[in-house]
Structure 1
């Protein structure tokens, strides 16, 4: 099924160009020329869209105004919003992220850059929908779970554990997305020793999945486990994720590097920190991370 994108830009030429490029790449497109029209489209059929490409500077309602309204609406808050602007300063990028943007494009951008960012956005939306469906399938009794501990090796096992534990939290699909990102980091970058640059190179060559499977089959490396501990109180849900790798320098990931926003991966910690958890803290050498969710009393 094709993904539908909402394009918002007050320049008709920009809309026409993006619409043509994205349509040729298999996306369905709805194009509007103002922030007011964008909000009307979202109000009428917001669940129909997989991502929004939003011009930052527009007369009337600006891109930031629209972004803030999207993030304030519980039914739209997780919809990926890609901000477009001619201002590429780091401060402007950080401002967009603080307002809730998922991705950032600086004009002029290439066709390849546009498609890479859109593909990343809709993949993130697909994952969110997947976990929302899985969460709805779990028993409501899991909300009464007080503590649990799991140890596992693979992405498939991680997905099952994530869906189970997320159901014990308010807004389970929100928690599941960030929790899965942290666990995948623990598997890939921790236990399997794959670096950010390894993933970039292997994805570009189409060898990423094969390399993950090869390392999982390794007699030593493949036997490493990710351990997830869960604890609940009346006001808090706590996750502790630990891998058996050598750790990493987690300090630079406290804030996202604006240059990485156009990469095909590397947003996991940002997603977990900004969208899924109320607090995220790395411990030790970086192979232990604590994630907290506040619960209304």
Structure 2
């Protein structure tokens, strides 16, 4: 599947450079030299885009203005936005996070960093689109489900359970995105014991998938299970996900570290909190998380 990217920058040289790098990597691109032009493209062609690379500082309609419009438009608010900035400061990154950016690039950036972050962005979009299609299947009886419990060990099983449980909620594809991210964390970081630093190194070395498969074949780690409990409550829905790992220092993720917006992974909790659930609460040593959705109306 070809991915179509919108590149927005008021500097023609920057647009030319990004276009050359991304098209050489197999992406299709469309360019805008201003926020106004970008917004016009988004309104007309937004459904054909899978990622936006958006310059922060532009005259007229700046990057944050465009970002806020994207996040306030239901048809576009799941579109991953990679903010570009020459200002490498926690305050600037935090500002972008609050506006809805989940990916960040500091100028000047390398080819490898650009491609890694774009790949992470469109992978997030691909999962959302896949869950959106699954949500269209005729599983209406799940709207009457009151409670359920599943156990799983692999990411493939997690995807199947996610698609099923998301159908219990009014906006299945929205719930599915965050629910899957929490289950991925439980499998990878919880049961299989892969730390954030290890995943960063493994991805950089191209060894990530082989290491994941190796650990899933391990006679001890590979037998660990993730349990997920669904409960329909009077005021909404809750999902309780528990793994068999050692837990982690979840308190430091109460507010997402700005640094996580500048890496190619590590945004699962942020995505769950910002896009999918009204509340995400870690308990105990961190190997149990409860995600809640409040009933509307």
TM-score, normalised by the number of residues in structure 1: 0.96
Are the equivalent residues in 1 in contact too, given 2:93–2:261 (CA < 8 A)? no
Partner Cα separation in structure 2 for residue 52 and residue 10 of structure 1: 15
User: Could you say if the C-alpha distance between residues 250 and 30 of structure 1 is closer, same or farther in structure 2, counting changes exceeding 3 Å?
Assistant: same
Deviation per CA, 1:185-223: give whole Å up to 9, x if none.
111111111111222222233332222222222222222
| Aligned residue in 2 for 1:82 | 82
Are the equivalent residues in 2 in contact too, given 1:135–1:172 (CA < 8 A)? yes
| Aligned residue in 2 for 1:296 | 296
Superposition deviation, residue 59 in structure 1:
1.4
Superposition deviation, residue 234 in structure 1:
4.5
Q: How does 1:264-283 map to 2 (within 5 A)?
A: 264-283=264-283
Partner Cα separation in structure 1 for residue 201 and residue 77 of structure 2: 32
Gaps of 5+ in 2: none
Are the equivalent residues in 1 in contact too, given 2:247–2:287 (CA < 8 A)? yes
Q: Pick which of 66-75 and 209-218 moved more.
A: 209-218
Are the equivalent residues in 2 in contact too, given 1:138–1:167 (CA < 8 A)? no
| Aligned residue in 1 for 2:161 | 161
Superposition deviation, residue 132 in structure 1:
1.0
Are the equivalent residues in 2 in contact too, given 1:230–1:240 (CA < 8 A)? yes
- How many matched pairs? 297
Question: Which SS does the other structure have where 1:137 is aligned?
Answer: coil
| Aligned residue in 2 for 1:125 | 125
| Aligned residue in 1 for 2:235 | 235
Partner Cα separation in structure 2 for residue 225 and residue 138 of structure 1: 29
Partner Cα separation in structure 2 for residue 92 and residue 203 of structure 1: 27
TM-score, normalised by the number of residues in structure 2: 0.96
Question: Which SS does the other structure have where 1:255 is aligned?
Answer: coil
| Aligned residue in 1 for 2:201 | 201
Partner Cα separation in structure 1 for residue 25 and residue 211 of structure 2: 28
Q: How does 1:1-297 map to 2 (within 5 A)?
A: 1-297=1-297
User: Could you say if the C-alpha distance between residues 276 and 242 of structure 1 is closer, same or farther in structure 2, counting changes exceeding 3 Å?
Assistant: same
Are the equivalent residues in 2 in contact too, given 1:116–1:262 (CA < 8 A)? no
Partner Cα separation in structure 1 for residue 231 and residue 206 of structure 2: 39
Are the equivalent residues in 2 in contact too, given 1:3–1:28 (CA < 8 A)? yes
Partner Cα separation in structure 2 for residue 88 and residue 262 of structure 1: 10
Superposition deviation, residue 138 in structure 1:
4.6
Partner Cα separation in structure 1 for residue 2 and residue 173 of structure 2: 22
Partner Cα separation in structure 2 for residue 2 and residue 216 of structure 1: 31
Across the aligned residues of Structure 1 and Structure 2, the Cα RMSD in angstroms comes to 1.4
Deviation per CA, 1:90-123: give whole Å up to 9, x if none.
1111011001011111222222221111111111
Question: Which SS does the other structure have where 2:218 is aligned?
Answer: coil
Partner Cα separation in structure 2 for residue 68 and residue 235 of structure 1: 29
Gaps of 5+ in 1: none
Are the equivalent residues in 1 in contact too, given 2:237–2:293 (CA < 8 A)? yes
